[in-house]
Amino acid sequence: MDIFILLATMIVCFLIGMPIAYSLAFAAIVGAWSIGIPLEAVMLKISDGVSKVAMLTIPFFVLAGAIMAEGGMAKRLVAFADVLVGFTRVRGGLSVVNVLATTFLSGISGSAVADTSAIGSVMIPQMEKAGFPRVFATNLTITSSVQALLVPPSHNAVLYSLATGGTISISALFMAGVFPGLLLGFSLIILCLVFAYRDNHPRGQTVAAKDAVRITIDAAWGLITLVIILGGILGGVFTAIEAGAVACIWAFFVTMFIYRDYKWRDLPVLLHRTLRTVAMVLTLIACASSVGYVMALTQMPAKMTAFFLSISDNKYVILFLINILLLILGTLVDMAPSILIATPILLPVMQNFGVDPVHFGMIMLLNLGIGLCHPPVGSILFVGCAVGKVTIEEVMKKIWPFYAVMFFVLMLVTYLPEISLWLPRHVLR
């Protein structure tokens, strides 16, 4: 009954349109009242939820990603990817450029929505002009942006670490996301080549050597951000928090003094937008911490484990059921609250079945990322349709092959844990 009261309050608050953070806090208060816990304890948990030093990772990486994504980096990465693909003159070359440029930007922005907006605004008109269907270009941009949720510096990997109570290293999650993210990008490239030869898409164009050198040098300034983040963490030079701070300084220097595409008068607007994003995320984390505390008191994780054991004691069956559950959740609730709500419930279940917490983090991020590409909540889908100037109905008719590829990658990541665990095990010893 205590669990029912907690969940019912949360769901009713969602349905009546109360903001998610306030819904979580109110559900925690009602749940605490139902089991006789002083409300002061809930307030203390809300405060404790945002008092961890690891929280600094979020504003640093959000700001660095915003500066690079809006400061001209996207078009330079597209040009650099065009140079790399142009040498092969492969059929459907611009679609490969789209995926490759998104891969590069994902390692800088950490945000799928930012990637969809930045890459889409450059690539979708360019692909349409070259002869690609506009809906195809939009679908490709939407689904390839899911890479940003996996590869470092994924903001959602940081949220997952915080949702576990800080017991999972952010650096380990960053490393774990590299191969799943690259696998998704590679799989989408294969799909692009299949479409290219089936539908006779135009070939990529070779870039003149003089222009290729200039474009490469121009893009290298931004790509150094990748070296700072990955190289600094892998080399033991920085912690994840310090890497975020240095990335902010470097992104600001490159954008304002090297590229100089961004106006100084626009900087306060960017900072204000970043602060709003960070404030919303931290409020969610604070309120979700109180819900997690009440859930633990009601023994919900243990009861969920018992429930799944009553269905099957086979780890692979349970993993499949959890995937279906997360896919549904991802289509109904935005990613940040999904991570903060589901992690305290499902992680103990997965650990009981012997699933590594880092591996489960990748499973959760990929599931919820697929959900962001599907209505009714899919923020990536909505941004992609707005940038591509196509309707959701047009996109949904043609996006199913892309869903199939993402689901295939999800199954590989789920049932081959070494895809996620090999790099952190061998690098972060």
Residues 248/253/256/262 CA torsion (nearest 10 deg): -30
pLDDT of 143 above 90? yes
What pLDDT does residue 144 have? 93
pTM for this prediction: 0.85
Q: Is the pLDDT higher at 318 or at 297?
A: 318
pLDDT band (50, 70, 90) for residue 429? low
Between the alpha carbon of residue 58 and those of residues 50, 172, 201, the distances in Å are 11, 16, 40
Instruction: Please state, rounded to an integer, the average pLDDT across all residues of the chain.
Output: 85
**Residue range 164-184: mean pLDDT, rounded:** 89
Instruction: Write out the residue range of the structural domain in which residue 132 sits.
Output: 1-428
Rounded percentage of the chain residues whose pLDDT exceeds 90: 19
3-state SS track over the chain: CHHHHHHHHHHHHHHCCCCHHHHHHHHHHHHHHHHCCCHHHHHHHHHHHCCCHHHHHHHHHHHHHHHHHHCCHHHHHHHHHHHHHHCCCCECHHHHHHHHHHHHHHHHHCCHHHHHHHHHHHHHHHHHHHCCCHHHHHHHHHHHHHHHHCCCCCHHHHHHHHHCCCCCCHHHHHHHCHHHHHHHHHHHHHHHHHHHHHHCCCECCCCCHHHHHHHHHHHHHHHHHHHHHHHHHHCCCCCHHHHHHHHHHHHHHHHHHHHCCCCHHHHHHHHHHHHHHHHHHHHHHHHHHHHHHHHHHCCHHHHHHHHHHHHCCCHHHHHHHHHHHHHHHHHHCCHHHHHHHHHHHHHHHHHHCCCCHHHHHHHHHHHHHHHCCCCCCCHHHHHHHHHHCCCHHHHHHHCHHHHHHHHHHHHHHHHCCHHHHHHHHHHCC
Count of all residues that appear for the chain in the document: 429
Out of 23-37, 39-53, 138-152, 305-319, which region has the weakest mean confidence (pLDDT)?
A: 39-53
**Residue 190 confidence (pLDDT):** 94
Region of 236 (left: φ > 0; alpha: ψ -120 to 50; beta: rest) is left
pLDDT digits over 63-74, tens only?
887 887 777 777
pLDDT score, position 426: 82
Res 245: pLDDT: 86
Q: What is the mean pLDDT of residues 91-117?
A: 85
Up-side HSE of residue 207: CA atoms within 13 Å toward CB? 20
What digits encode the pLDDT tens for the residues 327-375? 888 887 788 888 888 888 888 888 888 899 999 999 999 999 998 888 8
Residue 121 is predicted with a pLDDT of 84
Q: Say how far apart CA 180 and CA 404 lie, in whole Å.
A: 16
Question: Six-digit token pair at 369?
Answer: 């990322």
**Do residues 143 and 104 touch, judged by C-beta distance below 8 A?**
no
CB 245 within 8 A of CB 153: no
Report the alpha-carbon distance of residue 366 to residue 184 in Å, rounded. Answer: 10
Cβ pair 418, 162 in contact under 8 A: no
Question: Does residue 396 surpass a pLDDT of 70?
Answer: yes
**Total of domains in the chain:** 1
Q: CB within 8 A of 364, min separation 6: which ones?
A: 160, 326, 339, 342, 343, 346
